[in-house]
Amino acid sequence: MASNDYLGLSRDPRVLDAGHKALDEHGTSARASRVVSGTLPVHTDAEHSLADLTQMPSGLLFSSGYMANLAVIAALGRAGTRILLDAHIHTSLHDAVKLCAADVEFFEHQNLDHLSELLRHGDGKPTLIVVEGVYSVLGDAADLANLQMLARQYEAWLVADESHSLGILDKGCGACSQAGISGADNLIIISSLGKALGSAGGVVLCPETVRDYLINTSRPFIFDTAPSPVNAAAAAASARIVGTESERFSQQVFESAQCISTALGTSQSAGAVQSVGIDGTGNSSEATEENCGYL
């Protein structure tokens, strides 16, 4: 009830075995930044496995999902660019925009009309649209297909945080896959590896050109110690398991979600996050924007 380990993979014997082997071969730490000597075979294996699962061209590992969000926004949000964020976006992305030089605006949660209005007044600036696949508070899913169409129309990038949808939606491939936009040349996916994949760390899944740009400009990549080889190996193993056993996992997740939402008397959310609003008297109610707090 209180864990992000949605699929129970943190205790799966195959994931544990992969972690043990990485521990024996590489030790507890990568011992350096990725750009010095910290990139190990387990890191590239995890990047390929995660890219394959999500049907994206390439992946880049970070020490946490939080760090991955900081990395993308700080690196791409240069002076002269514009970032448009859903009002319910994760706290890490609120923090990320404070580190960049871009012009930053928020649009009303899930309000594509408001987003369209902001895009129409973009003055030709390079633009990032930042959303979540499944929102971590309300548990609702973004309309990624129409968001990608808007991004294409205005020559913008769509950045989707899939921390709560990767491993859950579309047989584990995630919300972007479910929306049919995986592999789009203007799409960047960011995800924690500490949710459904039962590990720790973060990944950016993107076109090769974006990956190269992040390697050469992203401070959270250049100056941070590489992810633990144990966690990288565990994430790679989990990605392969989800890719081959997705039907079983998906069924278990949604059956559990239905039991929880029925017991609580709320509508079932889009993924694993089942959201219950609490009013001022402490009574539970259907989750809404008004009674679910976020930072």
- Residues with active-site annotation: 4, 90, 132, 136, 161, 164, 195
User: Which amino acid, residue 125?
Assistant: K
**Which residues are CB-contacts of 178 (< 8 A; sequence separation ≥ 6)?**
144, 165, 169, 170
C-beta of residue 233 within 8 angstroms of C-beta of residue 45: yes
Q: Is 243 exposed, middle or buried (0-12, 13-18, 19+ CB in 10 A)?
A: middle
Handedness of CA 202, 208, 209, 212 (dihedral sign): positive
- Both tokens of 275, joined, read 């959201």
* Rounded (10°) CA dihedral 243, 15, 255, 291: -100
Which residues, in sequence order, are bridge partners of residue 286?
276
